[in-house]
Amino acid sequence: MDFKKIFKPPIIVEWTKLLREKGVKEFIRVKGWKIVAAIFLYYLIRDSLLYLVIPLMIAQGFICGK
């Protein structure tokens, strides 16, 4: 079983290949701004949960509470 195929779907492999070969400008031209916005929103939501919401919940006692 190849773990790279499990953790990297074919669409992500295609996108990274395009980014490496053609650069950011060509990637945006081919895929459009919606993909860039989706990636930005994904990291914004992920980091907000990871660095803001979870520590706040721990501090208030919702997670690992008494």
Q: What is the pLDDT of residues 24-41, one digit of tens each?
A: 999 999 989 888 898 899
Q: How many CA atoms are closer than 13 Å to the CA of 8, on its beta-carbon side?
A: 10
Query: For residue 6, is pLDDT > 80?
Result: no
Query: For residue 51, is pLDDT > 80?
Result: yes
User: Is residue 40 domain-shared with residue 66, that is, in the same domain?
Assistant: yes
| Number of helices followed by number of strands (H, E) in the chain | 5, 0
Range of the domain at 13: 1-31
Q: pTM to 2 decimals?
A: 0.54
Q: What is the pLDDT of residues 55-65, one digit of tens each?
A: 888 888 877 76
User: Is residue 24 domain-shared with residue 40, that is, in the same domain?
Assistant: no
Site of tokens 């895929």: 31
User: Is residue 22 domain-shared with residue 39, that is, in the same domain?
Assistant: no
Domain count of the fold of the chain: 2
Q: State residue 26's pLDDT score.
A: 92
User: Is residue 26 domain-shared with residue 37, that is, in the same domain?
Assistant: no
Confidence tier at 23 by pLDDT (50, 70, 90): very high
The answer to whether 12 touches 27, Cβ cutoff 8 Å, is: no
What whole-number distance in Å separates Cα of residue 34 and Cα of residue 1?
Answer: 33
